[in-house]
Amino acid sequence: MTDPIPLSLMLVTQPLLWAALAWRVVRPMGMGWLVTGVVLNGLLVAFLIQHVLIGGAQVGLLWGLAGDLGIGLRLDGLALLFVSLTLLIGATCIFQAQGYFRDQPAVRTRLWPVIWALWGGLNLIWLAHDFLLLYIGMEAVAFCVIALIALSGEPASIRAAIRYLQAVMLGTLALLLGAGVHLVAHGSLALALPQQTDHSAFAAVLAAALITAGLTYRAALFPLHSWLPPAHGSSYAPLSALLSALVTKASFYILARYWLDNDAAFASPLAAQLLGTLGALAILWGGWMAWRQVKLKMLVAYSSVNQVGYFFLLFPLITLTTPEVAQQARDGAMLQVISHALAKAALFMSAGNLVFAIASERVDGLAGVSRFLPVSLLSFGLAGVSLMGLPPSGGFIAKWTLLQASIGAGQWWWALVLVLGGFISAVYVFRVYRQTYLEGPAAEDFHYDRFTMEIAPLALAILAAGLGLLAAAPLALLEVTV
């Protein structure tokens, strides 16, 4: 059977090749080239998924000293789940951006190299087995995100890009210090350490604390989230969809990997409960702030702060609990990540369509729009169904699984947070819907001739709203571990 590790490396190099083509050869890159790149990546992902389901997960370490330090790639179900999510979100965002910027060839010339480089950097993060490759991938992603946020050149976008850069620098500093202490404590840069590893030493605990703090900051967990709403709210809608759906997931993914691979052996119950408490506060505060926003894109941006909180309920539910509860918590958290990615991409895209149509970013400017853009409103509503956690959405299955884990762990207070969070999400989603069915003085003044731009958000919203019916597939992939 073919060795999958060199092929998995192509998940990184192929997007980078397309980035080089878009930068120097095909400027701007047309739809034919874009579709070819997406299809080639899709075929490679499909082959690797089949290979892993049949042959099992594998780790490929580099030769020599690098191999001794645990530097290499890991191909397992969790990695391929996020690679597949990147393929789906990336393809739809490319399709949406091609229509959004169809009259701006200069923007597309600058855009496509960054999009493809971002794609390659994200795939490196999903596949990395160690902190060195993770650092390379995270820095590549960070530079691409800064370029995307500042793409418009507007002062607000530049300020948001600078705030994102500051957050990245602080988070990365803590992560690098933690990785250095991790190397000293364990003699390895690998995330997954042998089962007999002693995690009780001071250096090991310090490494875990620094790594957790740095990744928590970059994941925009409350109260370290101040950089996220301006970054998402100031960029173009298709790019906000890409950033919200994938980029904020990268730091959480690494942190979840680190805790899950080591069975949270270095974590105290107090630290785990603290992360869960911050997640609960993010759900409440983010929802409250989303409800208060006067601009539609900022409402959706604060919704990201709200939804990120659910991810961090994972950590108290895998610390000093049974293997069955830990598995439920892992499954629920990862399903929540997937459903959130689909729903938030759909929300940002449909919100961008609405803003374009009414020529205003204000929520109160949506009066009467329901008669003109029913498809975009349907997309917004279906995505909202997943955020609220209503059946048969992916959000429902994810939150139901997390609720079962919280009851099984004897930590019933997280169940209350999950239920209350659904009501809060409903409040800000229905606030938008209510406004669209009002009539205003400018109710007849709509201009929108790009129906093709409603296809991508509708497809993602349908997937988010119906993911509960298809949850067996990602859960089966999650079972393929090293």
Distance of CA 226 to the CA centre of its chain: 17
What pLDDT does residue 197 have? 80
Distances (CA, A) of 332 to 193, 241, 276: 24, 23, 14
What pLDDT does residue 181 have? 94
Name residues of the chain where pLDDT drops below 70.
1-3, 64-67, 439-451
What pLDDT does residue 446 have? 57
What does the domain layout of the chain look like in residue ranges?
Answer: 270-482
Q: Which amino acid is at 64?
A: G
267 burial level (CB within 10 Å; 0-12, 13-18, 19+): buried
Query: Please, which residues have CB within 8 angstroms of residue 219's CB and are 6 or more apart in sequence?
Result: 248, 251, 252, 255, 308, 311
Point out which residues pair with 190 in neighbouring strands.
130
Q: Write out pLDDT tens, residues 190-215.
A: 988 887 788 788 898 999 999 999 99
What pLDDT does residue 448 have? 59
What pLDDT does residue 65 have? 64
What pLDDT does residue 444 have? 53
What pLDDT does residue 420 have? 93
What pLDDT does residue 209 have? 92
pTM of the model: 0.93
What pLDDT does residue 175 have? 92
